Amino acid sequence: MPLVRRLSRVSFVCGWLAFLALGNGCKGNDPVAVAPTYTRSTAVEFAVRNGSTINPTGLPGVFDLSQDQAMLEFALDFPATDHVEVDVSVFDFIHGSNDTAGTFKVAVYAGNGLANASDYNAGIYLGQYALDVGELKDFKLDVTTFVAALRGSEATHIGLRFYASTMGQLSLQPNAELVAGP
C-alpha cells in the first residue's frame, strides 16, 4: 500500500505541473502570467530658446526660468499597457549663492520624434517638482493617462517639456527612459 500512495501523490503533482506547463493556468488576467515590460530611450532630446532657437547652449537638456525649455520625446511603438512612466534625472548645475530649494514644471505633448522650435510652450500641464540647490535627483513621472489619450489621437511620440525653473539653470541628464508595463 505505501507504494501505491506514493505513486498516487506523484501522479497528482505531475498532473498539476503538466496543467500549468501547457499554459492552461495562464490565460487571461491570471496572476501567474507575467506581462512584458517595454523600455524606450529618448527618440530626441533638445532645448528651445524663446520659441525659436534649438539647442542655444549646445546642451540639449538645459532649461531655466525665463527663456530656455528642454524637451524629451519617446516613441509610442509598444502595445497598450497598464502603466507608463518616464524616469528622468534633473541636475541643478548653475545656481546663485542666495538660491534655496526650487521647483520646475513639466508638460506633456504629442511629439513627432523631431526637434521642433514649435514645441516651445506645447502641451498639457503634468506637474510641478522640487529640487534642492546643487542636487541631482531622479524623478518617475506617471504619464499613463496621457499615453492612452495620445494613442487615441494616433500620435507616434510622447513629448515632455521641462520649464519654469525657479532656480538658475537645470539640466536633464542623458539617461531618461520611458518604461511601460504592468
Tens of pLDDT, residue by residue over 17-72, are: 444 444 444 445 556 678 899 999 999 999 999 999 998 877 778 888 778 899 99
Query: Do residues 67 and 102 share a domain?
Result: yes
pLDDT of residue 27: 47
**In what order do the strands lie in the sheet containing 102-111?**
53-54, 44-49, 68-75, 157-163, 102-111, 124-131
Query: Do residues 9 and 94 share a domain?
Result: no
CA 125 from chain center: how many Å?
Answer: 15
- Torsions phi, psi for 145 (to 5 deg): -60, -40
Give the total number of structural domains in the chain.
2
Query: Do residues 134 and 62 share a domain?
Result: yes
pLDDT of residue 167: 74
Out of 28-32, 39-43, 104-108, 153-157, least confident range: 28-32
Query: Do residues 70 and 81 share a domain?
Result: yes
> How would residue 152 be classed by pLDDT, with cut points 50, 70 and 90?
confident
Query: Do residues 69 and 39 share a domain?
Result: yes
Q: CATH number of the domain that 97 lies in?
A: 2.60.120.230
Query: Do residues 19 and 47 share a domain?
Result: no
Query: Do residues 61 and 139 share a domain?
Result: yes
Query: Do residues 27 and 45 share a domain?
Result: no
Report d(CA 7, CA 50) in Å as an integer. 78
Query: Do residues 59 and 13 share a domain?
Result: no
**Taking residues 152-172, what's their average pLDDT?**
88
Query: Do residues 13 and 64 share a domain?
Result: no
More confident position, 170 or 128: 128
3-state secondary structure the chain: CHHHHHHHHHHHHHHHHHHHHCCCCCCCCCCCCCCCCEEEECCEEEEEECCCEECCCCCCCEEECCCEEEEEEEECCCCCCCEEEEEEEEEEEECCCCCCCEEEEEEEEEECCCCCHHHCCCCEEEEEEEECCCCEEEEEEECHHHHHHHHHCCCCEEEEEEECCCCCEEEECCCCEEEEEC
Q: What is the pTM of this model?
A: 0.78
Would you say residue 103 has pLDDT above 80? yes
Q: Sign of dihedral through CA atoms 120, 126, 130, 131?
A: negative
pLDDT of residue 134: 82
Question: Range of 103's domain?
Answer: 34-181
Query: Do residues 126 and 65 share a domain?
Result: yes
The torsion region of residue 50 among left (phi > 0), alpha (psi -120 to 50) and beta comes to left
Query: Do residues 124 and 67 share a domain?
Result: yes
Report d(CA 42, CA 151) in Å as an integer. 18
